[in-house]
Amino acid sequence: MNEAAVRLTGVSKKFGELWANRNVTLDIQQKSIHAIVGENGAGKSTLTRMIYGLLSPTSGSIAIKGKTVRFNSPRQAIAMGIGMVHQHFMLIPELTVTENIMLGDERGRLLASLKKTDASRKIRDFADFHTLAVDPDAYVSDLSVGEEQRVEILKLLYREADILILDEPTAVLTPSETEQLFATLKSLQLEGKTIILITHKLDEVLSISDTVSVMRKGEIVATETTASVTKSDLARMMVGRNVLLRIEHPLETPGKCVLKVSHLSVTDRKGIGRINDLSFEVRAGEIYGIAGVEGNGQRELLDLLWGMGEQQYRTSGSVTLDGTSLRGMNPAEIASSGVSFIPEDRLKHAVIPGFSIEENIILGRHREKRFLRFAGFDEAGVKNYTKNMIDRYDVRYDLRSNPPLGSLSGGNQQKIVLAREIDRPDLKMLILAQPTRGVDIGAIEMIHKKIIEIRDKGIAVFLVSTELDELISLSTRIGCLYKGSIRHEFSSEEIRKGRSAELDFEKEIGMFIT
């Protein structure tokens, strides 16, 4: 019987009054792929940061390959063969792949000249051996996100790590890059590496891991063999209650055309065509989904719909809302004509963390007369409105302390954005970009319900997502965006049929977007 690669015994970590991890006992077997899942804030990151020596436990012990350790810094963890790929890569864009890999591990004396050509040859062989295709002489700034991730993994392998921790590795990858990553992880496993995978995507857990541990509120609630659990089992364990993974889908009754995009073409600053002769319509009371791999024109399209594209791109064609052109309007004008936009990176683009909840709930709507009094705000009115919205959307925080929004949990921040944008007066169209990215399962359910609710009120919903199951479950029609134009459009009958054989339908959509 071989030793566990990582053994945690009664490990706890306390930040102030808060237990980030409480009494965690966990064995991670050697040569296994062990997934750790949990909602945001469940303590996954804290746990791995302790294994990697970035944090030290308040109590409990950690043993690596049978040897009890107490790390003061990642340096010691690295020496024990532990490596970590962080969610945000730690690469220096101005240096080449080789230089990045050698950084901190130059294997030479101070002032000795670095044998970079040797190193680069060595790294090329090394990369080939692990089938991690990347050019050792390329500058990191020129690499794609997937390639950067490969460099991070190579860096660990170069340092002879045999326990690899990956924190949300697929969050930034396209579906094909994800597939490639998983193939790499499988082959690393065959070479005898142990892999710890932090994620909240349940499908990924099921498809790649051997063992899965579920965390909730800082504790491990279950560790199971992956083959013995289902997606809904995991969801239930994560959230602590039954979760509706599939939304009820009452029949839609689409009305007149609200948004009409016709013959839209967009060229970026470098002269590269991003959108080519794109045409589609979104009708009142329907959800029009855009499926597509990132980088096929979604960003440019969203920029244009929100009045932020004209300065950046050269554009031709027309974009109209109820017959009025949106081109040439700025975000404030578009918003006041009845459009709400929930951008993909909500925490960066939709809220101001240093502002109070009240100040955030009127952000972008602060010109509405109902909130104004003289040159300033009707403070009592805003307060009442906030209270009302907080009740309706079940935002949880301590009302008395009036904290900055940034101190709320991600889920609660999302709810505030949603509340604000959905409640816009005379709303005609709601634009959503990746509405559930980085969102907890419990909150996804709520967001999906709200989207359907909005649709049933006769509002046009425009949904851009890379999650096919989300699109299939919500959309009335789906446009497959490929290289800046709609390559195929699925009708509502096709989608309704597709829902009964979802996997096949996903594959069918997949064919039109790659």
Partner 1 sequence: MRNRFLKFAVPLFAVAGALLVSALLIMVTGRDPLIIYQKMLSMTFGSDYGTGQIVFRTTSLILTGLAVAIPFKVKLFNIGGEGQVLAGALAAAVVGIVLPPQTPPFAAIFICSLSAMMAGSSAALLAGWLKVRFGVNEVISTIMLNFIIQAFAGYLLTWHLALPSTVHTPEIIHAARIPMFDSVIGIWHKSPANFSTFFALAACLAMWIMVFKTTTGYEMRAAGMRPDAANYAGINTDAHIIRAMGIGGAMAGLASVNLVLGYKHFFEAGLTSGIGFMGIAVALLAFAHPFWIIASALLFGFLEYGGLSVNAYVPKDIFMMVQAVTILMILVLTKIFRRPA
Complex with partner 1: residue 181 or 335, whichever CB lies closer: 335
Rule CB under 8 A: say whether 461 interacts with partner 1.
no
In the complex, minimum distance from the CB of residue 216 to partner 1, in angstroms, rounded to a whole number? 22
Rule CB under 8 A: say whether 354 interacts with partner 1.
yes
**Residue from 105, 118, 333, 394 that binds partner 1 (CB under 8 A)?**
333
**By rule CB under 8 A, what count of residues binds partner 1?**
31
Complex with partner 1: residue 221 or 308, whichever CB lies closer: 308
CA distance 158 to 172: 23
**Residue from 63, 80, 257, 372 that binds partner 1 (CB under 8 A)?**
372
In the complex, minimum distance from the CB of residue 343 to partner 1, in angstroms, rounded to a whole number? 6
**Which phi-psi region, left, alpha or beta, contains residue 330 (left: φ > 0; alpha: ψ -120 to 50)?**
beta
Structure tokens of 53? 């020596």
Rule CB under 8 A: say whether 462 interacts with partner 1.
no
* Segment 8 to 67, residues that bind partner 1, using CB under 8 A: 15-16
Complex with partner 1: residue 191 or 379, whichever CB lies closer: 379
Burial of 493: CB neighbours in 10 Å, binned 0-12, 13-18, 19+: exposed
Number of H helices, E strands in the chain: 18, 22
For 70-188, strand residue ranges (E) read 82-85, 163-167
In the complex, minimum distance from the CB of residue 354 to partner 1, in angstroms, rounded to a whole number? 5
CA distance 282 to 298: 16
Q: In this chain, which stretch among 76-84, 118-126, 345-353, 446-454 interacts with partner 1, using CB under 8 A? A: 345-353
**Residue from 127, 220, 350, 418 that binds partner 1 (CB under 8 A)?**
350
CA distance 73 to 87: 19
CA distance 272 to 315: 12
Rule CB under 8 A: say whether 335 interacts with partner 1.
yes
The three-state DSSP-derived secondary structure of 204-254 is HHHHHCCEEEEEECCEEEEEEEHHHCCHHHHHHHHHCCCCCCCCCCCCCCC
**Residue from 313, 377, 397, 482 that binds partner 1 (CB under 8 A)?**
377
In the complex, minimum distance from the CB of residue 314 to partner 1, in angstroms, rounded to a whole number? 20
Complex with partner 1: residue 35 or 422, whichever CB lies closer: 422
Q: What interhelical angle do 410-422 and 379-392 show, nearest 10?
A: 110
Rule CB under 8 A: say whether 308 interacts with partner 1.
yes
Rule CB under 8 A: say whether 369 interacts with partner 1.
no
Helix (H, G, I), strand (E, B) or coil at 28: strand
Complex with partner 1: residue 341 or 385, whichever CB lies closer: 341
Rule CB under 8 A: say whether 370 interacts with partner 1.
no
Helix (H, G, I), strand (E, B) or coil at 240: coil
Q: Concatenate the DSSP letters of all residues of 346-409 into one string.
A: HHHHT--TTSBHHHHHTTTTTTSGGGEETTEE-HHHHHHHHHHHHHHTT--S-GGG--BGGGS-
In the complex, minimum distance from the CB of residue 421 to partner 1, in angstroms, rounded to a whole number? 11
Rule CB under 8 A: say whether 363 interacts with partner 1.
yes
In the complex, minimum distance from the CB of residue 80 to partner 1, in angstroms, rounded to a whole number? 27
* Segment 85 to 124, residues that bind partner 1, using CB under 8 A: none
Is the distance from CB of 32 to CB of 211 less than 8 angstroms?
yes
Residue type, 221: V
Is the distance from CB of 197 to CB of 36 less than 8 angstroms?
yes
Rule CB under 8 A: say whether 355 interacts with partner 1.
yes
Complex with partner 1: residue 280 or 341, whichever CB lies closer: 341
**Residue from 110, 251, 375, 380 that binds partner 1 (CB under 8 A)?**
375
Complex with partner 1: residue 100 or 386, whichever CB lies closer: 386
Question: Residue ranges of the alpha helices (H) in 130-230?
Answer: 145-158, 175-190, 202-208
Q: In this chain, which stretch among 105-113, 217-225, 372-380, 423-431 interacts with partner 1, using CB under 8 A? A: 372-380
Q: How many residues does the chain have?
A: 514
Complex with partner 1: residue 195 or 430, whichever CB lies closer: 430
Rule CB under 8 A: say whether 255 interacts with partner 1.
no
Q: In this chain, which stretch among 122-130, 148-156, 221-229, 357-365 interacts with partner 1, using CB under 8 A? A: 357-365
DSSP code for 172: T
CA distance 360 to 358: 5
Rule CB under 8 A: say whether 380 interacts with partner 1.
no
Q: How far is CA 236 from CA 204, 239, 349, 362, 395, in A?
A: 17, 5, 31, 35, 22
Helix (H, G, I), strand (E, B) or coil at 72: coil
In the complex, minimum distance from the CB of residue 373 to partner 1, in angstroms, rounded to a whole number? 10
In the complex, minimum distance from the CB of residue 111 to partner 1, in angstroms, rounded to a whole number? 34
| Strand-pair partners of 267 | 273, 314
- φ and ψ of 440, to 5 deg: -65, 155
Complex with partner 1: residue 375 or 380, whichever CB lies closer: 375
Task: Give Dmax (Cα) for the chain.
Answer: 77
In the complex, minimum distance from the CB of residue 17 to partner 1, in angstroms, rounded to a whole number? 10
CA distance 514 to 175: 10
Complex with partner 1: residue 166 or 304, whichever CB lies closer: 304
**Residue from 367, 370, 392, 507 that binds partner 1 (CB under 8 A)?**
367
In the complex, minimum distance from the CB of residue 352 to partner 1, in angstroms, rounded to a whole number? 5
Burial 274-302 (b: 16+ CB within 10 A, else e): bbeebebbbbbbbbbbbbbbbebbbbbbb
Rule CB under 8 A: say whether 306 interacts with partner 1.
yes
Which chain residues interact with partner 1 by CB under 8 A? 15-16, 306, 308, 330-335, 341, 343, 348-355, 359, 363-364, 366-367, 372, 375-377, 401, 407
